[in-house]
Amino acid sequence: MTLAHARRTALDARATAHSPRTLGRMAARALWLELVLEPKPGLVSLRDTGAHTDMDARTFLRSLFALRPHFVRLAAAGAGDAPFAALRAIGIEAETAMLAATGGVNTHRGAIFALGLLAAAAGRAQARDEPVTDATLRSHLRAAWGDALAAHSPPPGVPSHGAAAAARHGAGGARREAARAFPAVFDVALPALRAARRRGPDERCARIATLFALLAHVDDTNVLHRGGLVALALVQARGRAFAHAADPLAFAARTHREFVARRLSPGGSADLLAAALFVDALQDARP
């Protein structure tokens, strides 16, 4: 390779790298992709409000637009090698913006945590001219913020039904998931998404299959809060059964109706789906 060719290659790589602004936009778009997907058991979509009476698609839209600039800030903070305390401060400001936009409804608290950390990890990798592979993102999460995440606890005065349910039932919740560099995203969701795409070209079905893989594996604290261990066992059983359904979309629709009737909303799995779609978009070389 000539020196001129090497320089052109380096310039091309920098040109295709994602700026913090682009990373923030991609994080918000991942929330949009999660919102519009359906049938999505118990969850809000453009079609209906799922198992919720206090929020609808418009609530989620107001939230994701309010969160976008904070995802940009988190990506920039990661690129600047900011400590976890700085990320946490931005995350708290993002939550405040979310609640202001939604009239006090918690639409995306878990997503702020997961997507914010992944945006920061992506920003850190890109600042070092490193590819945003699964291994690279997880390495940056551990190296930069792993110790702080292991010791992390929710800030005082910020109520969380999920954290309370996790403590009550001995589940790990979002904190342990992040401290382990998101195994549900990298070991469950992304492999499920990639396997589904190999089976066929239907992107909607691939994303629904990914959500059901998460339902099967995640100790969803939103489910624990609403229905306890019995509800979690039901949700995980439906997640496992999806792989054997003769008509997967019909099975997903039936499960949605069942979860609505039981008032079950696996919001933690929805947040992790959005996180997986964000990482997938980072790595997507298609136009």
* pLDDT tens-digit map of 130-158: 999 999 999 999 999 999 998 876 655 55
pLDDT for 174 equals 82
Cα dihedral: 156, 157, 163, 168 (round 10): 90
Cis peptide before 39 (omega within 30 of 0): yes
Closest CA to 86 of 104, 70, 109, 67: 70
Would you give per-residue pLDDT tens digits along the chain (287 residues)? 454 444 444 433 443 478 999 999 999 999 999 999 999 999 999 999 999 999 999 999 999 999 999 999 999 999 999 999 999 999 999 999 999 999 999 999 999 999 999 999 999 999 999 999 999 999 999 999 999 998 876 655 555 555 555 445 445 568 889 999 999 999 999 999 999 999 999 999 999 999 999 999 999 999 998 899 999 999 999 999 999 999 999 999 999 999 999 999 999 999 999 999 999 999 985 43
Q: Among all chains, which residue has been given the structure tokens 């195994």?
A: 183
DSSP track, the chain? --HHHHHHHHHHHHHHSPPHHHHHHHHHHHHHHHHH--S-TT---SS--TT-SS--HHHHHHHHHHHHHHHHHHHHHHHTT--HHHHHHHHHHHHHHHHHHHTS--SSHHHHHHHHHHHHHHHHHHHTT----HHHHHHHHHHHHHHHHHT--PPTT---HHHHHHHHHT--HHHHHHHTT-HIIIIIIHHHHHHHHHH-S-HHHHHHHHHHHHHHH---HHHHHHHHHHHHHHHHHHHHHGGG-SSHHHHHHHHHHHHHHHT---HHHHHHHHHHHHHHHHH----
Total Cβ atoms within 10 A of residue 67: 26
Share of the chain above pLDDT 90, in %: 82
pLDDT for 226 equals 87
pLDDT for 163 equals 53
pLDDT for 284 equals 85
Looking at residue 134, its amino acid is D
Domains of the chain, start order: 18-283 (1.10.4200.10)
Residues in the chain: 287
* Exposure b/e, 96-123, CB count within 10 A at least 16 = b: ebbbebbeebbbbbbbbbbbbbbbbbbb
pTM above 0.85, yes or no: yes
Q: How far apart are CA 94 and CA 73, in angstroms?
A: 10
Total Cβ atoms within 10 A of residue 14: 10
Asked whether 266 and 223 are in contact (CB, 8 A), the reply is yes
pLDDT for 234 equals 97
pLDDT for 151 equals 87
pLDDT for 95 equals 97
Q: Among all chains, which residue has been given the structure tokens 């100790």?
A: 219
pLDDT for 66 equals 98
